[in-house]
Structure 1
């Protein structure tokens, strides 16, 4: 009977030990102060989410399964971080900068590595943006995170010759994305307008000896009917008229005018002004001014955009004529009254 009780007590004691194990004291060997090895993060294949994953000092980018050869691996240094990337992944986009660098340029030894065999690329570009760019090589589409500036991503795409449009970039903030796309479109549109409209108008002014040009852009169907005897007093002989309905709509946006101004500035022009001003179309009435016999002509005005620029080289110099007063001494003959040389009298012209 006692034997059965002893077995029952022993089983209860064993279960208690298993439920509450005695803590094991750590020895000095388990308290090693040596730094932990740097963790390597492997990015998932195309199509898998990786938005919340952080970067460490070294990153391994997934490579195609066919890229088993170690010579296909490239070490790219971006902002102090190493990316291990497959060469075949980059060469798959031959029109990009990385595709050209590690394609024929690497074979011809134009692209060179450092002493450790690493390639330093993308100076000034952070690892977060570079990670987004690698998505283009993996799946052809980049997703811009909320904490990444669309403008910075666009500049990086321009640097790496990666196309930036709605087919390659996905962004939650559509306003910012459309703004950047509109800037690209505005540059292309105004560049064409400079060649077709601005340069011919400037040439006409330059052939007349002018060194500046004032252009007013009207709609194609705007009717201008000035009175020959009473034209508006606005110096119309110095104004060049361009009829272009599309440009009237284009220049009504402040952002487009900013882009246009920068383009004209980049092409060497000065004193650039763009805006909206009133332009007279036809005479409405004539009236006599109060207390005067002079006639006052009243015209109807419409709001239209204008472009003004100058190419004068010496615009900083004064245009006023400086008259210098020459000081001289007048001599009186000895036989004149006084009989002395009036050398102490000075005359000014």
Structure 2
């Protein structure tokens, strides 16, 4: 009875055109023909030369790495027969993907099982109309800018639904690859040893979603109120639910806080307590088209503590200040021109003609008549200038 390993070896020989093209015309392989013990690769581990006829007969591994040179690697990713029949995937077809000078021989059925991902759309039902075309060798060049190590880890998502971050790969790099390939980046799909980096990325996602809700519910109504009064910028101070603002009408604060708008929300106050959340909020406001964005922590006067008298009898009011978050933003389109004065368009209102001033005639409509002077030919002036210069020389 034929063993499963022999079937897998024969499958690789017949359906891997990219590997067969590397063989010589005489049918001999470029690799050494000396016998070696079989070497089976674990996922994410680099393996040396593996002859096609030396597959592990009883192994459960579904990935093998073949090396054809220092810069040309072939990674064969396969589903076992049991998993393939259980999931209903059709076996037999293979495509070769080139990522970071590495060839991945994959059954496209694993991609079509995840139709919402980029690879699922590429090899799905609309494959004939896809913008991605194979090269002259029938291979697909995909995932530009993604390393082969990251792509190998991402392939595990199509098999088990989990991506394990490889050693030496940062979470932002893995996140960028997942976003490019339209794969969900969340705690159920990503497994990482560095929990701090993983939690940081998840917090950024949560902060962006949360601030978009805060923006619609709390901040936007204040922006609309400012716009309806003719303003083109807004300054919002976030206070807690327990903060009390009690200003003295006779001695209000002298720092322009009367133009600030207040949001009483302990939740929003706690949100802005973290500088990472303020950075996320700033990026959200920038994506929404706002300009001159400032987010930070500043002192805000709440109530009058006492009044001191300076020498001369002038009062000095001391207020109690609390450190609270603030948001400042603008939607002014011509902010550069608003502070520019074009002096060429300003006409002088002064006049030196008393008659025109008495008659109230506009200065630009006044015609001044000068008596004609004696007409002198230009040539008549030359001898005089010459004689004058000669007289100067004489004296």
TM-score (ref. length: structure 2): 0.67
Match of 2:80 among 55, 64, 67: 64
Instruction: Give the deviation of 1:301 after TM superposition.
Output: 0.9
Matched, 1:301 2:317: no
Per-residue CA deviations over 1:109-151 (Å, capped at 9, x if unaligned) read 6654333322221111111110010111122211112211110
Instruction: Give the deviation of 1:322 after TM superposition.
Output: 5.2
Counterpart of 2:4? none
Q: 1:37 to 1:227 in 2, by over 3 A?
A: same
1:329-348 → structure 2 map (5 Å cutoff) = none
Q: 1:342 to 1:152 in 2, by over 3 A?
A: farther
Q: 1:271 to 1:68 in 2, by over 3 A?
A: closer
1:105 aligned counterpart, secondary structure? coil
Instruction: Give the deviation of 1:254 after TM superposition.
Output: 0.9
Q: How many residues align?
A: 296
Instruction: Give the deviation of 1:69 after TM superposition.
Output: 4.5
In structure 2, how many angstroms separate the alpha carbons of the residues matched to 1:107 and 1:87? 14
1:78-117 → structure 2 map (5 Å cutoff) = 78-106=99-127, 112-117=133-138
Instruction: Give the deviation of 1:170 after TM superposition.
Output: 1.3
Instruction: Give the deviation of 1:50 after TM superposition.
Output: 2.7
Instruction: Give the deviation of 1:163 after TM superposition.
Output: 1.6
Match of 2:253 among 215, 219, 232: 232
Q: 1:281 to 1:128 in 2, by over 3 A?
A: same
Matched, 1:241 2:262: yes
Instruction: Give the deviation of 1:52 after TM superposition.
Output: 3.2
Q: 1:249 to 1:327 in 2, by over 3 A?
A: closer
Unaligned stretches of 5+ in structure 1?
Answer: 1-33, 334-340, 344-349
Q: 1:112 to 1:193 in 2, by over 3 A?
A: same
User: Which stretch of structure 1 is more off in the superposition, 144-153 or 60-69?
Assistant: 60-69
Counterpart of 1:250? 271
User: Which stretch of structure 1 is more off in the superposition, 152-161 or 311-320?
Assistant: 311-320
In structure 2, how many angstroms separate the alpha carbons of the residues matched to 1:276 and 1:251? 9
Counterpart of 1:50? 43
User: Which stretch of structure 1 is more off in the superposition, 168-177 or 99-108?
Assistant: 99-108
Counterpart of 2:208? 187
Matched, 1:147 2:168: yes
2:100–2:146 contact (8 Å) kept in structure 1? yes
2:43 aligned counterpart, secondary structure? coil
1:63–1:85 contact (8 Å) kept in structure 2? no
Is the strand fraction higher in 1 or 2? 1
In structure 2, how many angstroms separate the alpha carbons of the residues matched to 1:131 and 1:90? 14
Counterpart of 1:204? 225
Q: 1:237 to 1:329 in 2, by over 3 A?
A: closer
1:271 aligned counterpart, secondary structure? strand
Q: 1:235 to 1:143 in 2, by over 3 A?
A: same
Q: 1:331 to 1:300 in 2, by over 3 A?
A: closer
2:236–2:262 contact (8 Å) kept in structure 1? yes
In structure 2, how many angstroms separate the alpha carbons of the residues matched to 1:132 and 1:73? 19
2:206 aligned counterpart, secondary structure? helix
Instruction: Give the deviation of 1:107 after TM superposition.
Output: 6.0
Q: 1:63 to 1:216 in 2, by over 3 A?
A: same
Counterpart of 1:347? none
In structure 2, how many angstroms separate the alpha carbons of the residues matched to 1:319 and 1:331? 35
1:104 aligned counterpart, secondary structure? coil
Counterpart of 1:127? 148
TM-score (ref. length: structure 1): 0.76
1:43–1:62 contact (8 Å) kept in structure 2? no
Q: 1:135 to 1:332 in 2, by over 3 A?
A: closer
